[in-house]
Structure 1
């Protein structure tokens, strides 16, 4: 049997495939070797769903955030090897997952807008070009951490509309010190900043909240999609919760810069399932 994993900063979708189809699926915690050691990831992998299947899995395809460098891929493989001692393990980055899930065997531009953001130009088999993805401090335009950071900056500087600020105070009992602690002292600040996107989406009819998304998506297009050759002639596909739950705004922002958005899905796992079923 095959085990497929699509792992982002916040969650991991797992699926077990047999030659007869899907036999198991599970959503667990996310992993990122940029911020976690192999031992820390291994401890998080002690999940009942995975432990029950450890003797039946023959091949693993793990796609993860932060799995670009050989060192990081090796860390993830080492963590998985502690549980799946006999399986063949293939570790690739989340950008390849997005490309295979949305483009399949066709050419196109694949993008991720989840907690973070990323993109690539895909020829139907290989990634032929990609943009830098320096993380939530130096990049992640259009992603949840980027949008949440702008939102928290406006809160700290009292630059958001008064009625939105009042709702934030009522819902989160937020103050500047709490923000500083979560962003600079506690683990996974990107997740923390991205967590405010649900509130922003719930108040999307307010022009301030709408423009947070719209302008962040425009930033993403400028930093990513518009840097690829002939981008106006290519279909642009998206995966990730930020893209999926704010698809109308994303399509509007794309239309305004003459970008053709094709497919927008929440998670690559279904597309990856179809892709890997061909291997069985």
Structure 2
């Protein structure tokens, strides 16, 4: 009988990495670490996080590692992650590092063709042929794109508040919850402090708590409609394939998202908070 390998899989963003360890015994465990992004971190930075937050969770000899992360666009950009994993887990015979978009596609679609999308703090999309990403309609990032994402929803809400466009009841509730929010504080966070996308994404909690309000429901619906028009509908024959999503925004607002897809003549597919379980099935 051929023994099954111990497999370690990661889905990483800039702030958090989700890990799943599949043991040859059949058991699997999930844990989290700080985000690992080669755009912001050196190989030594990554090794430090691995030693402090990942290696203590590992047991047995890890033979295979599959890492999917933001900033891992190609072999060159991924090198700090790849080298750190090889150094930190010397028993690994296979170390594969790829983009978070490919991870989402494999986790959502498996080995079937489909449209894979990410709606979390940011937004992304790709057409996947069952083995690789064939085409992606590139997002322009937080300031020029990311329609439908948590940062986009938060930014839109705050702009409505500052320009006195919220209904009176919502305006007062927002002001009570965020008394520190004014034009100057928002501009400071938007243009002077780092990670404005994360700042605006924090306001998505207000949106979630008030999702039954017609104004908020319409705000989310319009944002999803923009995402579909700017990204999904630009793929060839999108109506022929299921449109899958991963990410917290897609997951928590999936009823509105599914309705938005159907209104555009599209077929809703899987909507998962994380692609990890799907990735585990894919690699098994």
| Shared fold per TM-score greater than 0.5 | yes
| Alignment root-mean-square deviation, CA | 2.2
1:20 to 21, 25, 32: 25
* Corresponding residue of 1:4: 9
* Corresponding residue of 2:3: none
* Corresponding residue of 1:121: 127
Q: Compute the displacement of 1:79 (Å).
A: 4.3
Q: Compute the displacement of 1:184 (Å).
A: 2.8
Output one character per residue of 1:143-164: Cα deviation in whole Å (capped at 9) or x when no partner: 1111112122222322222322
* Corresponding residue of 2:187: 180
Gaps of 5+ in 1: none
Q: 1:59/1:212 Cα in 2 relative to 1: closer, same or farther (>3 Å)?
A: same
| 1:106 partner SS | coil
Residue 201 (structure 1) aligned with residue 208 (structure 2): yes
Separation of aligned partners in 2, 1:113 and 1:189: 17
Question: For the Cα contact (< 8 Å) 2:61–2:91, is it kept in 1?
Answer: no
Q: Compute the displacement of 1:107 (Å).
A: 1.0
Q: 1:158/1:273 Cα in 2 relative to 1: closer, same or farther (>3 Å)?
A: same
* Corresponding residue of 2:116: 110
Output one character per residue of 1:87-127: Cα deviation in whole Å (capped at 9) or x when no partner: 34211111111111111111111111111111111111121
* Corresponding residue of 1:245: 252
Question: For the Cα contact (< 8 Å) 2:13–2:36, is it kept in 1?
Answer: yes
Q: 1:114/1:206 Cα in 2 relative to 1: closer, same or farther (>3 Å)?
A: same
Q: 1:263/1:92 Cα in 2 relative to 1: closer, same or farther (>3 Å)?
A: same
- Decide which moves more: 2-11 or 261-270: 2-11
Separation of aligned partners in 2, 1:154 and 1:40: 40
Equivalent pairs counted in the alignment come to: 277
Residue 70 (structure 1) aligned with residue 75 (structure 2): yes
Q: Compute the displacement of 1:24 (Å).
A: 2.4
Gaps of 5+ in 2: 1-5
Residue 213 (structure 1) aligned with residue 213 (structure 2): no
Q: Compute the displacement of 1:165 (Å).
A: 2.3
Q: 1:38/1:189 Cα in 2 relative to 1: closer, same or farther (>3 Å)?
A: farther
Q: TM-score, normalised by structure 1?
A: 0.90
Separation of aligned partners in 1, 2:51 and 2:161: 39
Q: 1:180/1:127 Cα in 2 relative to 1: closer, same or farther (>3 Å)?
A: same
| 1:75 partner SS | helix
* Corresponding residue of 1:131: 137
Separation of aligned partners in 1, 2:71 and 2:157: 25
